[in-house]
């Protein structure tokens, strides 16, 4: 599947809330872009550092791989990753609002902010 098509499909699954693996899939796709494109532009490398931190805090037990063609850097790919990360940030905001232990709420809230910060590096 073409990379931007895969990001749209995962983003749509994330929006429905019916796919328990969509959030981990969204993070995997963003990390794929980082792994493939970091050597071309430092913005991708900065994005990757943020994503790895989110992965280490919120996705430790989830190992999901989304099959997609390797991404190519360009406006479409950057927009697709930004939109995907915004959807993932909204997902974590919703989790923060619905979670009762304070530590988990704070983790999800911090994750949402960090995902938005990562997306901003591609602007």
> What does the alpha-carbon distance between residue 90 and residue 40 come to, in Å, rounded to a whole number?
29
**Is a pLDDT exceeding 90 seen at residue 67?**
yes
Question: What pLDDT, on a 0 to 100 scale, did the predictor assign at position 73?
Answer: 95
Give the largest CA-CA distance in the chain: 42
Residue 22, CA distances (Å) to 53, 64, 72, 97, 102 in order: 18, 9, 22, 19, 24
Tell me the pLDDT band of 123, cut-offs 50, 70 and 90. Answer: confident
The pLDDT value recorded for residue 21 is 95
Q: Which two tokens stand for residue 6?
A: 């895969």
Task: With both helix axes pointing from N to C terminus, report the angle between 22-37 and 75-98 in degrees, rounded to the nearest 10.
Answer: 140
Q: Residue 2 in contact with residue 69, Cβ under 8 Å?
A: yes
């Amino acid at each position: 599947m073409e990379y931007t098509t895969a990001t749209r499909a995962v983003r749509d699954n994330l929006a429905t809330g019916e796919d328990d693996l969509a959030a981990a899939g969204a993070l995997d796709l963003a990390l794929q872009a980082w792994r493939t494109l970091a050597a071309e532009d430092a913005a991708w490398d900065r994005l990757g550092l943020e994503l790895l931190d989110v992965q280490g805090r919120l996705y430790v037990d989830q190992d999901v791989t989304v099959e997609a063609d390797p991404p190519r850097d360009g406006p479409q790919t950057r927009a697709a990753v930004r939109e995907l990360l915004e959807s993932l940030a909204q997902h974590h905001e919703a989790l923060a609002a619905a979670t009762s232990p304070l530590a988990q709420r704070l983790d999800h809230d911090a994750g949402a902010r960090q995902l938005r910060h990562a997306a901003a590096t591609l602007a």
